[in-house]
Structure 1
Amino acid sequence: MIVYRITHKKFADKLVASGIENRWNLSGQFIIYTSENRALACLENLVHTNGESLCSDLYMCLSILIPGNAGVTHISLKDIPQNFTNEKSIAITKEIGNKWYKANNHLLLQTPSVIIPSENNFMINTMHDDFMKKKL
Structure 2
Amino acid sequence: MGISVWRICYNGDLRLQALPYGSTLAPGRWHLPPPFGYSVVYAGSSRALTQLEKRVHANGFQPANQALIRLDLPEGARINAADDLGLERSRWRRDAGYTQHFGTEWLRKGTALGLWVPSIIEPREMNLLINPAHSEYGAIQIAIEDPDFQFDPRLF
Range class of TM-score, shorter chain: 0.7 to 0.9
Secondary structure, aligned partner of 1:76: helix
Distance 2:99 2:117 in 1: 9
Distance 1:12 1:53 in 2: 19
Following TM superposition, by how much is the alpha carbon of 1:13 offset from its aligned partner in structure 2, in angstroms?
4.1
Following TM superposition, by how much is the alpha carbon of 1:69 offset from its aligned partner in structure 2, in angstroms?
0.9
User: Any unmatched runs of 5+ in structure 1?
Assistant: none
| Identical columns (%) | 24
Following TM superposition, by how much is the alpha carbon of 1:76 offset from its aligned partner in structure 2, in angstroms?
3.0
- The one-character-per-residue Cα deviations of 1:61-102 (angstroms, maximum 9, x if unpaired) are 11000012111110139823435333xx11111111122111
Q: Does 1:133 align with 2:153?
A: no
Which residue of structure 2 lines up, in the alignment, with residue 4 of structure 1? Answer: 6
- The one-character-per-residue Cα deviations of 1:29-64 (angstroms, maximum 9, x if unpaired) are 11000010100000000001133336xx62211100
**Match for residue 65 of structure 2 among 58, 62, 78:** 58
User: Any unmatched runs of 5+ in structure 2?
Assistant: 143-156
Q: Tell me the amino acid that sits aligned with residue 74 of structure 2.
A: P
RMSD: 2.0
Which residue of structure 2 lines up, in the alignment, with residue 91 of structure 1? Answer: 97
**Match for residue 121 of structure 2 among 98, 101, 115:** 115
Following TM superposition, by how much is the alpha carbon of 1:9 offset from its aligned partner in structure 2, in angstroms?
1.6
Count of residue pairs the alignment pairs up: 132
Distance 1:50 1:58 in 2: 16
Contact in 2 for aligned 1:80/1:93 (Cα 8 Å): no
Moved over 6 A (4+): none
Within 5 Å, give how 1:71-82 maps onto structure 2.
Answer: 71-76=78-83, 79-82=87-90
Distance 2:14 2:116 in 1: 23
